[in-house]
Amino acid sequence: MKKYILFSVLCCMVFFACKKEETPLFNTTENVYFDFTPDEDDDKTDSLLYSFAYFPDKGEDTVFIPVRLSGFRVSRDRTFILKIVDSSTTAKASVHYEPLKDKYIMAADSGMCMVPLILLNKDTLLKSKTLTIGLTLMPTADLGVAFTLQNKGIVKFSNRLEKPDWWNAWAGELGDYSRVKHELFIRVSGTTELGTNFQDFNTIPKALYHTRRFKSFLLDPFKWVEQYAEEGYVITMEADGYYYFYNSKNPDARYRLEKNPDDGRYYFRDENGKRI
């Protein structure tokens, strides 16, 4: 009999202990946190990278900040606040990005919100410097921000490029690397990168198509513009007496052409002053 009573008491203790552990789950306030795509070499990241150099026709573009809900979804809209962190921000509002709204909405029955952040490509500073926008989530009456390690994020953006790994594999076709050459390659080659998997029989023909299109452009930019008119690029002579190559959708991003009297051809110059 004593054993039965002892067993009953133990069962009751386990039952109430389980109920006690479950209680905080239902009383926990719903929270929001950043959910950036992880890096290849890491299982998490707190940043987003963007370069206008890959999109030469754009004077502005929108990146989306992923904000995820932790907790229960409900059948009504809820608000959260996204603010700029001045100490980690080098970009200027209305110059490099559109100011944020006072509040954002986590839609009813949703566990994710993609907050639009409009970046501006007007300042030539982006050609030489990567700017940053520090972000932080703030609590509201609807949603908290309990996950402090995922409460802050940063957007890094510029209008310049870095030498990609694939450039060396195709240096025989492309020549020495420069940022200006890389920018022109993206604008006219028909691709943003070249393959390096030489086990794939399509890699070399595809790469040669893009590199030869690029070479034909450098050989005669005027003819290329005429041949690929649908691409939206033009060459015009400006008041300074020089020709400039640019996309009609983004006339602020221009590349000057200089005529070489020795061979009669027109050349671009890279950031080091060398002819391309």
pLDDT, residue 251, reads 86
Q: Is residue 10 part of a domain?
A: no
Q: Which residue has the higher pLDDT, 16 or 77?
A: 77
Domain end marker among 134, 158, 182: 158
Q: Is residue 25 part of a domain?
A: no
pTM: 0.66
* Claim to verify: residue 150 and residue 182 sit in the same structural domain: no
State the chain's mean pLDDT as an integer: 86
As for how many domains the chain has, the answer is 2
* Claim to verify: residue 54 and residue 126 sit in the same structural domain: yes
Q: Is residue 106 part of a domain?
A: yes
Domain end marker among 137, 158, 179: 158
* Claim to verify: residue 199 and residue 257 sit in the same structural domain: yes
Q: Does pLDDT of 211 surpass 60?
A: yes
pLDDT tens-digit readout, 2-49: 444 444 444 444 444 444 334 333 334 799 999 887 654 455 577 888
pLDDT, residue 44, reads 58
Q: Is residue 201 part of a domain?
A: yes
Q: Does pLDDT of 210 surpass 60?
A: yes
SS3 191: coil
Q: Is residue 13 part of a domain?
A: no
Average pLDDT over residues 148-156: 88
CATH number, position 132: 2.60.40.1740
Percent of the chain having pLDDT more than 70?
Answer: 87
pLDDT tens-digit readout, 88-141: 999 999 999 999 999 999 999 999 999 999 999 989 899 889 999 999 999 999
Percent of the chain having pLDDT more than 90?
Answer: 67
Domain that holds residue 104: 31-158
Q: Is residue 180 part of a domain?
A: yes
pLDDT tens-digit readout, 251-263: 878 999 999 999 9
* Claim to verify: residue 201 and residue 126 sit in the same structural domain: no
